[in-house]
Structure 1
Amino acid sequence: MDSPKRPINAHKAYHAHVYFDANTLDTAKHLYEKTQNTFSLKLGRIHERPVGPHTMWSYQVLFFDTDFDGFIPWLDEHRETLDVLVHASTGDDLADHTLYAYWLGNAVELDLRGF
């Protein structure tokens, strides 16, 4: 199996979706707080259920190309065992979650039927 694509700074805007489950909830909450205290980025709610195309519990972080070079290496270093989808935010949801989808850790299956 191919390795998932690593994030690249090739778009204007991005979402990062941090995935977790009941066993890693505390790790995810800790990362959420560290992100909030380290960066001036917009963080979404912590969802303890699958939402939209995300088949695991998650929360999102919205950021821009100007944040990418500082945020993505930091996120990769601090995510511990959590998997993270980083995707472009172009307005084309299907392309954003497929062609422009990048991963820190392992790829998580998405439910793309809604697109």
Structure 2
Amino acid sequence: MHKAIILGQWKGELGKGLAERELACLLAVAAGQTDKEIARREGLSPRTIKGAIERCMYKIGAFKRASLVAEALRRGIIAPAACFLLALLVGLQHQQTTFTRRPETPRRVEMRVAARRDSAAWAV
């Protein structure tokens, strides 16, 4: 049986290669928190948090925070909490996205020709 950590709207499973602190930092990164915000909440140094996130990146094989979260989602290490996922699905059912485009019209090339006065030519 795996232990789960829930942080805000994210849920993470221990026992999939990450330590408890690393998983907690990964969930906080998924929630959009900075190193300083995580450190303030955990009562640790921002450098300690940065090290835990770097260890997560090394273990998962990602080198940016966004790709770290995406790869953790893909591997099933973290997932949105059930209430967040349910709210998202309900919201998507009621939202209809329509794009209004102008009707397709044929393109016209307009040429303007300067009119010469024939009367001026005849006057000479």
Common topology (TM > 0.5)? no
By percentage of residues, which structure has more helix?
A: 2
TM-score with structure 1 length normalisation? 0.30
By percentage of residues, which structure has more strand?
A: 1
Larger radius of gyration: 2
TM-score with structure 2 length normalisation? 0.28
